[in-house]
């Protein structure tokens, strides 16, 4: 087993599988909830740098797996006696905010509110990143692609808002 999967020399399969796929399951549930509203994205006036829809599915699958794996690493640190409570609290809050964004954007079509929510999400992801990296460098590093994507998503969300609601 690769070193990256071991925390303090240990690997536990059930927490690994459960915590790694948990964000993916939640994201899939949200995707199912908004499935009839996603087609609106194709009809929106979007900036030229907007990727095709299939890219979002690929990217979010990878990001959910990375953040789930990061949470597993933090969970495993509890065995060393370190306090992981606040780190996991912020992780859960950012995950819930993450699940709220597509509902706000796609289901309710509140692009400005979704942009504001994305800023709040980024703040909580940043806090989670700093909490994680203090406990486990790898767990923190696993959050960097997520943070980079949120910056891109924020810019994209802003332009969708600007092009579709601010002119009205």
Using pLDDT thresholds of 50, 70 and 90, give the confidence band for residue 118: very high
Residue 157 domain flag: yes
Residue 111 domain flag: yes
Structural tokens at position 8: 């303090």
CATH number for the domain spanning 163: value is: 1.20.1260.100
Residue 34 domain flag: no
Residue 145 domain flag: yes
What does the mean pLDDT of the chain come to?
95
Query: Which three-class secondary structure state does DSSP give residue 142?
Result: coil
What pLDDT is attached to residue 156?
98
- By residue range, what is the domain housing residue 59? 55-168
Q: Which residue has the tokens 């486990």?
A: 136
Using pLDDT thresholds of 50, 70 and 90, give the confidence band for residue 135: very high
Residue 93 domain flag: yes
Mean pLDDT of 77-105: 96
Residue 50 is classified by DSSP as P
Mean pLDDT of 151-157: 99
Query: Which three-class secondary structure state does DSSP give residue 110?
Result: coil
Mean pLDDT of 2-10: 87
Q: Can you tell me the distance from the alpha carbon of 66 to that of 71, in angstroms, rounded to the nearest whole number?
A: 9
Domain count, the chain: 1
Residue 36 domain flag: no
Residue 42 domain flag: no
Residue 17 domain flag: no
């Amino acid at each position: 087993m690769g070193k990256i999967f071991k925390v303090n020399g240990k690997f536990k399969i059930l927490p690994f599988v459960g915590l790694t796929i948990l964000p993916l399951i939640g994201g899939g549930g949200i995707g199912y909830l908004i499935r009839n509203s996603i087609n609106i994205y194709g009809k929106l006036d979007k900036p030229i740098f907007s990727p095709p829809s299939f890219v979002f599915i690929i990217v979010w699958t990878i990001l959910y797996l990375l953040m789930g794996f990061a949470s597993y690493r933090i969970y495993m640190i509890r065995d060393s006696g370190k306090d992981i409570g606040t780190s996991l609290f912020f992780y859960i809050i950012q995950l819930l905010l993450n699940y709220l964004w597509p509902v706000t954007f796609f289901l309710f079509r509140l692009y400005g509110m979704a942009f504001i929510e994305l800023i709040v999400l980024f703040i909580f992801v940043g806090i989670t990143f700093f909490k994680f990296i203090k406990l486990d460098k790898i767990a923190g590093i696993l959050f960097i692609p997520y943070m980079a994507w949120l910056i891109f998503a924020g810019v994209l969300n802003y332009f969708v808002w600007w092009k579709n609601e601010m002119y009205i």
